[in-house]
Chain A
Amino acid sequence: MAQIEVEIQHLKEEVVNMGYLVKAQLQKSKTALTNFDKNLAREIVIKEKRVNGYELKIDRDCENILALRTPVAVDLRFILAVLKINNNLERIGDIAEGIAKYIIHTETKFTPQLLQRSKVLQMLEVGITILEDGLASFEHENTILARSIFLRDEFLDEVNFQAIGFTKAYMAENPSEIDETLYILSIIRKLERVGDQVKNIAEEIIFYIEAKVLKHNKDLLP
């Protein structure tokens, strides 16, 4: 195997590992939110350091390959994609950490009613699923799976769109939960961004495998 093949394979593994770590962070944040588990939330914050560590390492590895191996064609597209995916995953990690921090800092538990009506847990579930699919399509170079992400992200966009309306209504009905409701609104905003980040990851995967640029071009979307 050529040296560059070995290094690209290694880089792929690192990205996948980072991705699963980030997915675990999201899952933990869902659990912590459901059970109002402050200890679990602290774990998430601690683990965030590892996510950042991965980001630095992957950036460095890309730089080395660019400098020393002069990649072209698919290899070059792969490196360019990884640089961006690296960024996307790190932001998703930040979002999970952000959710965890809210949990740590609130005094009162989020009521199950709030959690359910805000659809925040469903958002998390969808976010986790599309991230999982994104990682799978990256690992197995499956652009069909990657394309399916665009549609499913719409759910996150919808909930986000209706968030203001929901917040106003819920706060009117439950004035004692105003603080918590506002936190949940922030979390909804963050989760919508998770969807965007995963969509970007999917675009990058399609770019490197098919050399098609889907960015900023809604017409090319299925």
Chain B
Amino acid sequence: MTVQEDYQPIFIGKVQEELQAVLQRYPNKQAALLPALWIAQREQGWISDHIMAEVATVLGLTPAFVKGVVTFYTMYHQHPVGKNFVQVCTTSPCNICGAEDVLKALLQHTGAGDAGATSPDGKWTIVEVECLGACGFATPILVNDDFLENVTADKVPEIMRKYR
């Protein structure tokens, strides 16, 4: 990895203040890692190796340690994603209520093709995830931070219109 000449640090100004407030909640800096990564992802959309290095420096950790943590948790993106990142639950309780049809419909209508891929217009990335904890409201999906419930395949076009 080369040094990124134009790398803009994230943790400056207001964001730095935000992190300082977070640090007050924990007895050491390492415990602020997950919150810091959430802040970084909110600011940049995803977490690159350079960002991992910055977070490591800010919290007194090594880049390798941060990378080990980032790759463990599925909600941290390690590469850029579409404007709308959609997570579809297909674990058994939703699976028997048509979750795979919802997934298929989303892939089809967005043009993303395969789960995990981004649609050609860059607007949609659809991924299959495990139980979202809303099994009685099948099928739940997350569109970025919006948690939608009772989604069925026929409701997909309407959802897409809403998030255009």
Q: Do A and B come from one complex?
A: no
